[in-house]
Structure 1
Amino acid sequence: MNDSVIAKPGVEASTPAGNDLMLECRELSRVYDEGPADLVVLDQLELKVHAGERVAVVGSSGSGKTTLLNLLGGLDSPSAGEVRVADTVLHKMGDAEIGRFRNRHIGFVYQFHHLLAEFSALENVALPLIIRGSRKRDAEDKARALLDKVGLGPRAEHKPGELSGGERQRAAIARALVTDPSLMLMDEPTGNLDKHTAASILALMDELAASARCAFVIVTHDPALAAHQDRVLRLDNGKLHAE
């Protein structure tokens, strides 16, 4: 796939889409002990994303994009610096607390869907709400509405093994959105989708961003997906640079 990125015309790199700061990284570093020399993946990285803003992060393989997403989602802890989501410092919370926070504020779409094989698409999408404490019927009603939005309504009762790769990815996107997160983290979210389905997912992202309900950070190698966002940042040598 072509790794070049075209910046979206008419959007200034430093212009936020909203006034509310949803995500902030301050001097964020991640260093791994690799024998005689440390491997510096992120080096005092700075990032701000506002509610309603969509930011694409591009970079070569091994540049640290997945490491960055894991830190933003509280799945990993920084070596130095901090990540704030909705003005909450993630790494200062314990595992149980950060799990509850993630359930309420962060949606994560992985490059591979990570759906539970024994559950239907409907059950997979409803599960985060049930974990939160919602009634099963209410959770499934909301899950069904989102599955309809991503074009999976007729397949709601099918298990992941009965779905195509693109259908599984759409179910994963619906699962990430069902909790109305403050921040959406997406790793190649349209990589397994055909053009028509990818367009419908982009339209749904546009709708959420326009209502300023959610901020997006999207890691991608797809220049068309990157160009669709408000800002394109390249991760290089541990730091983010505007394209």
Structure 2
Amino acid sequence: MQATAEQGARAAQGSTMLECLDLTRVYSEGPQDVTVLDGLALTVYAGERVAIVGSSGSGKTTLLNLLGGLDQPTRGEVRIAGESLLALGNAALGRFRNRHIGFVYQFHHLLAEFTALENAALPLIVRGQRKKDAEARARKLLDRVGMAERADHKPGELSGGERQRVAIARALVTDPSLVLMDEPTGNLDQYTAASILALMDELARSSACAFVIVTHDLALAAHQDRVMRLDEGRLTEQPRSPKAG
């Protein structure tokens, strides 16, 4: 059977999954313009995990918003799976995000009135998949992140680490091309952060999707394939150091 265009875009590991070209974001603040990102370039390959570190206010969240199509650059473009986000209208961009991009936020953003299962299944339901099928897929992901026995609990009944695991399941339920993570261990205790780190390692080994992780956690960054530092609007690759064992 002939491969679809989407399957072709998700082909073998090593193909380009994310590409930023001359990415620039300038904000107007009163009479002055503030340049947050300045001609930034970045390429991330399928199956690769890239950590981005930098001081507070360096533009890391702005960069994630641009990569996820939540904001538009002042200049330059973002390409994911060969598709330029600038070429997509609002409706098409929403569909593209749903199919290709998974988000893991620092504060998880789970819906309080929904169970863990319903939260994890939501991206597929938004896509138009039958609830039964969406929840069957979500159960598999919750089991994978160690949350099968908590699937019927609402966020208020879950610990911080458990909520973050549900958020990771939600990000992966659509089998995305790219997962964007904003401080995924920032609000977790050391033990829970270590378990999330082990989970990310497992998922990276078994998945062809690319990961871009914004973090202040140098131990988390050291576990990734590459570490980039964002400073004065530009990314520079950091020297490799042995991963923590």
TM-score, normalised with respect to structure 1: 0.89
In structure 2, relative to structure 1, the CA distance for the partners of 1:109 and 1:68 (3 Å cut) is same
Output the CA distance in 2 between the equivalents of 1:196 and 1:165: 12
Q: SS where residue 28 of structure 1 aligns?
A: strand
Partner of 1:5: none
The answer for unaligned runs of 5 or more in structure 1 is 1-16
Output the CA distance in 2 between the equivalents of 1:38 and 1:151: 47
Partner of 1:37: 32
- Asked if 1:86 corresponds to 2:73, the answer is no
Partner of 1:46: 41
Partner of 1:11: none
Partner of 2:90: 95
Two-structure CA RMSD over aligned residues (Å): 1.6
Which one-letter code corresponds to 2:36 in the other structure? V
Paired residues of 2:13 and 2:208 also in contact (CA < 8 A): no
Paired residues of 1:150 and 1:200 also in contact (CA < 8 A): no
- Asked if 1:74 corresponds to 2:66, the answer is no
Which one-letter code corresponds to 1:169 in the other structure? Q
Paired residues of 1:208 and 1:214 also in contact (CA < 8 A): no
Paired residues of 1:84 and 1:90 also in contact (CA < 8 A): yes
Paired residues of 2:230 and 2:236 also in contact (CA < 8 A): yes
Partner of 1:64: 59
What's the CA shift for 1:117? 1.2
Q: Give percent identity, aligned residues only.
A: 75
TM-score, normalised with respect to structure 2: 0.88
- Asked if 1:154 corresponds to 2:149, the answer is yes
Higher relative contact order (CA 8 A, sep 6+): 1
Output the CA distance in 2 between the equivalents of 1:192 and 1:141: 29
Partner of 1:172: 167
What's the CA shift for 1:200? 3.9
Partner of 1:227: 222
Q: SS where residue 119 of structure 2 aligns?
A: helix
Q: How does 1:171-190 map to 2 (within 5 A)?
A: 171-190=166-185
Higher mean displacement: 132-141 or 220-229: 132-141
In structure 2, relative to structure 1, the CA distance for the partners of 1:147 and 1:197 (3 Å cut) is farther
Output the CA distance in 1 between the equivalents of 2:63 and 2:75: 13
**How many equivalent pairs are there?**
227
What's the CA shift for 1:210? 2.8
Which one-letter code corresponds to 2:187 in the other structure? N
What's the CA shift for 1:155? 1.2
What's the CA shift for 1:231? 0.4
Higher mean displacement: 105-114 or 129-138: 129-138
Q: How does 1:69-148 map to 2 (within 5 A)?
A: 69-148=64-143
- Residues 28-80 of structure 1: CA distance to partner in whole angstroms, max 9, x if unpaired? 00000011220000000000000011000000000000000000000000000
Partner of 1:14: none
Output the CA distance in 2 between the equivalents of 1:115 and 1:148: 18
The answer for unaligned runs of 5 or more in structure 2 is 1-11, 239-245
What's the CA shift for 1:194? 4.0
- Residues 143-198 of structure 1: CA distance to partner in whole angstroms, max 9, x if unpaired? 11211222221111111122122211111111001111000000011223344443
